[in-house]
Chains A and B, each alone.
Chain A
């Protein structure tokens, strides 16, 4: 499939959750507590999109489908988009911009603390997503910066785990997927390091922009 229509398709798909919650809020089909449904829905889709974004690289490695990489920026930006909506719905509908209460929440409630940390870390990634920013930063620094997405993933799953009352099944599911996505990267990196050390290194598809320094 050529990439342009695929991008359009992904763009439209990524807007569907917003459409669902927008329509539901308007027509009052989100149940007894629509405000909570919207906040949670936006949070869920932030996490879904974050994991989908993180799945692109392993998908490429496993399938050799390099064009997948060209969807990654859009997926990352949608992650940020939903995170911003999630945060807005918290600031507005949960707190009605009571900044004192919000500050207390961030300081006193661990699930808000890590959620906020995840959001703050997302901001520079969204801000440096343009080609211009990549050129300005240079590939190496850009890539180093964008590796914070791994930490964001961990913070996001912690956020979820700490906010549920008793049933950890969903956070565990997301955590499991994250472990696989990050574990694959760690594993491949280790394989590559060993190959380099063994002198077998030749640049191939899997190579990283940052060359791996042999450990002493």
Chain B
């Protein structure tokens, strides 16, 4: 089984020449070690490099490139690809595989992620790692397939029952699709909890250059909790049911302590031209990219505008907001929804900071342009 193989770090498991290429780019660009791939493909590539050999999914637009890529490549690596009968089944397959200690992944888009919430809650309760990718689309309900950030609440606040959190990473480039997918596996293993990569069809469908890298050497704890058959040793149990007096409360405090640890150690964010800014724009994922161009245009007009982009949505980089708004008193929050992250932004800025909001509820034709965001910047500057 490819499992031992995939524990190796510092070494590629895949020959980029044979693997990374979309069919129409057979001899693609291994130029300067920069591969020109779609965001979704970068996720799949990184999962393989991270040692993930188990994928469970169900078709849904706009993430199907991920299962399509993996259905082609996993068999070559002795891995398992299962197209499950539903998202409910696929998240529970992930739960089962993760419980045995292997690295495993599922991916979907918003309606499918809703169905996975039960399983995610059980994984959180059972302290199981596992990576969930959401190439989110517009809702509610069937909604549409356009890029959306309307799943912020669902992802960040614990989308299922029981008051848990999961790691949520928000890539804004194809390179980050690669890097953060890899990081998601490490954080999931380090903290024994599910980790989500939250992107949308802009980041998933666009192509950029990626510098692939092998799995970094991270000191990961041994998975002594993983079920593998007693083999003469102690019995191991993976569960979330705690009925004894005080047991469940203690369990919840233990989970809470991990969330606090994450808040202390794992926050990541990007600042762009923020040091001297009089107005700081804040946005994540695809919208942060659109905002960047608007900010560059604003700078050309002499407006001192910068960007604060959370990379980890949970843990939220509250400290970055506190520090920046110690000096800059105006924040413009931009989202592809009617206002979700803004609640965390408001809780994180200094008291006398004004927080403005500009949002577009997702749907066909509602992706804002840099020119449109520049208007907003001028208005609030």
Do the two chains belong together in a single complex?
A: no
